[in-house]
Structure 1
Amino acid sequence: MSTAIKIPRAARKELMTFGENIRVARLRRKLTAEIIAQRAGTTRQTVAKIEDGDPAVKIGTYVAVLQALGLLKGWGHLDDPVGDQMSLDGLPQRARMKNG
């Protein structure tokens, strides 16, 4: 049984696009959802949920499916043009908790 997860519309749209891209990658490789499920240690139904962009599926399962497709490398890279423009010189090296 799946619990509905509320996420912003823009995030939901991105997740649906991500799932569709995973489906296209699987089909280009001529792999069944069952084969990907076996390689990722999950079920065919969960692969279908991922391909639908279901936000209730654990991120670790998404990552396992990406690995099963050979797409894991570079997955964690974030495109952050705003952050790239900001200077990191003024940021603290680490945060400390105040004892208090």
Structure 2
Amino acid sequence: MSEPRSYSRGTNVAARLLGEQVRVARRERRWSEADLAERIGVSRATLQKIEKGDPSVTLGIAFEACTILGIPLLGADDTDAQALHSRHIADRLALLPKRIRRPRPVSDEF
């Protein structure tokens, strides 16, 4: 059996914050855990993991919960800002190398 993966403090804080937002939005809509889990297409236990901030839950499932609840993701509520951000990322990627290779060891013996 493999050891559980450890996550950085920043990852744990972000996952916990996302989980709290999901829990608040679900309760504001007066949905039970079972209701939201069914809408997402996951088990109630998986939804509980999301709400507790368990970083092992897949990103797609967590994002789906946010989308269903109307929680904005990465500026997704503002299409102009999202397009600008996407162009900015594309510009940055264009300046970076397409492939990253490990450096070859340099032999200084002549």
Same fold, judged at TM 0.5 (above): yes
In the alignment, the residues of structure 2 paired with residue 96 and residue 52 of structure 1 have an alpha-carbon distance, to the nearest angstrom, of 38
> How do 1:54-93 and structure 2 match up within 5 A?
54-71=54-71, 74-77=72-75, 93=94
- Stretches of structure 1 lacking an aligned partner (at least 5 in a row): 79-83
User: Is the 1:40–1:67 Cα contact (8 Å) retained in structure 2?
Assistant: no
1:93–1:34 CA distance, 2 compared to 1 (3 A): same
User: Is the 2:11–2:55 Cα contact (8 Å) retained in structure 1?
Assistant: no
Query: Which residue does 1:5 correspond to in 2?
Result: 5
- Stretches of structure 2 lacking an aligned partner (at least 5 in a row): 77-84, 101-110
Which aligned runs of 4 or more in structure 1 are off by greater than 4 angstroms?
none
After superposition, what is the alpha-carbon deviation per residue over 1:11-57, rounded to whole angstroms, capped at 9, x for unaligned? 21221121111101110111111111111111111110000001111
> How do 1:11-90 and structure 2 match up within 5 A?
11-71=11-71, 74-77=72-75
| TM-score, normalised via structure 2 length | 0.63
**Counterpart amino acid of residue 23 in structure 1:** R
Aligned-pair distance for 1:5? 2.7
1:93–1:21 CA distance, 2 compared to 1 (3 A): same
1:97–1:34 CA distance, 2 compared to 1 (3 A): same
Is the radius of gyration larger for structure 1 or structure 2? 2
Secondary structure of 2:75's aligned partner: coil
User: Is the 1:40–1:68 Cα contact (8 Å) retained in structure 2?
Assistant: yes
Q: How many residues align?
A: 85
Percent identity of paired positions between Structure 1 and Structure 2: 27
**The structure with more helix, counted as a fraction of residues:** 2
In the alignment, the residues of structure 2 paired with residue 60 and residue 91 of structure 1 have an alpha-carbon distance, to the nearest angstrom, of 25
